[in-house]
Amino acid sequence: MFDNSGDALDIWKTITSIGTKEVYGSYVLYKGFNSIYPYYWLYKLAVVTGVEQELYIKLFYAISFSIVSIIEFPALYENAFGVKVSWKKRVLFAIISFYFWEPSRALSEMMVDLPCMMYFLIMLNCFYAITNSKKKDILHSLVTGLFVGLCLTASGQYSLPTYIVLLFYVFDRFRQKIKLNFQDFANNLSLLICAVAVKFYNTFFLNSFVEDLRDNGAWIPDAKSWLTAGFPRFANCLCTDYGLFSNRIHDIFLNHYNVNEMVLSSGGISMNPSEYILLVLHHIPSFFVSYVNGILIILSPGGGFHSIRMIHFGIFYSFVFVFVLFGIRLYRVNITQFKEYLKLIIVFVAAIIPLLVMNIEQRCCMQIQGLVLSVSLFGVNTVILTNKKDTTTLLKLVGADILFVIACLVHLATIYDVNYFTR
């Protein structure tokens, strides 16, 4: 669970040292209480029951993946588009998503990415449930508030999409002109109180447990420090997983600070978000190209050696093609569902913004990859099978798919060539 991840190994030292005279202060603790819970409870359970220390944590990850792939992504599709997903497609989605996600190590290493994605998907489906269900109860609102709080504290990349979901929820309530009765007021208040309680506990955890470790000499930078140091330090990183960099953006930061490469990459320079936005506005074409390249890389999951990696990418690009066609068809036949499609895109894209402005790691891209996979797999009937009697249309779709995949592969190959040529 922590053989190939520095973050996992470091936080494991903290987990196993809690309760001893000297608690190890992991730098991962800046992420809050979700960095050690529920792992600490599962570790103690393993100690009490006398089994392998990591056994229950492995089970937790296996259950989390099952919930994400077999329950939550299919439920999200059903809630958004009103179409039931068969168990065959659920199992197929689980197999395909495992194939694409396993190389990122997010399914096997003790990192927050998989649990956070699970919290995020449960939160989305909870909001669909409280919006569409005729029966309103406080318990449902409390559960929704719990996962809102977890999404706001579990991983920084899910904070912005969570706030966007809340805005959509409030906007829909006003748009539907629903009269607020006592039951609705109580439900919404319960949701808010539960979310604030989780957020408050995370603040308490950081100000007590983590701050005490800092006072004892532990090196635990806070989230703001990671962010401000990350802008210039990872300025040229497109995706360290694939060894891809953006030399143009790197040069922009070097010229902006008038320093050499060693100083820039050391992490000693900080930049706040407003400074970064101003820099982007001064170099819009360069950053635009970098973001487009970043989106392509985010939608390029897989693994293996460089010689076969392009095959993995090409397969996923076909899913992207179907995903786009699905949206086009919705726009033509069902504008209401098309709006839900756009909402999902906005929410999931918000989750990858931190990756675009800093460094792309495939373990942090699973949520938007899962959206593309689920919508294209579950909605393929809408896109293709409705035209199964029209051979000409099917051939055109296959041809367009091949051209789309080739274009994406050529663009990605160009990124690789530029990287290796300029090193």
314 within 8 A of 405, measured Cβ to Cβ: yes
How far apart (Å, rounded) are the C-alpha atoms in residues 323 and 312?
A: 17
Residue in the structure block whose two tokens are 């937790």? 60
191 within 8 A of 143, measured Cβ to Cβ: no
pTM over 0.85: yes
Token digits of residue 391: 């051979």
Residue in the structure block whose two tokens are 């929704």? 144
How far apart (Å, rounded) are the C-alpha atoms in residues 146 and 129?
A: 15
Mean pLDDT by 10 residues, the chain (423 residues): 73 87 86 88 92 91 95 95 92 93 86 91 93 78 92 86 93 72 82 93 91 87 76 68 76 77 64 84 89 90 62 88 90 89 94 85 90 92 64 81 91 78 50
Using alpha carbons, select from 351, 359, 340 the residue that is nearest to residue 290: 359
Q: Is the dihedral of CA 352, 304, 5, 265 positive or negative?
A: negative
Q: Which alpha helices (DSSP H) does 155-283 contain, by range?
A: 159-175, 182-205, 211-215, 223-233, 247-257, 261-265, 273-282
Instruction: Tally the C-alpha atoms within 13 A of residue 23's C-alpha that lie toward its C-beta.
Output: 19
Other Cβ atoms closer than 10 A to 241 = 20
412 within 8 A of 293, measured Cβ to Cβ: no
pLDDT tens, position by position, 366-410: 999 999 999 999 988 776 665 555 677 778 888 998 999 999 988
Residue in the structure block whose two tokens are 């919930």? 67
pLDDT tens, position by position, 246-296: 778 878 887 877 766 666 666 667 777 888 888 889 989 988 988 898 899
Token digits of residue 396: 């055109």
Token digits of residue 161: 């999409």
SS3 324: helix
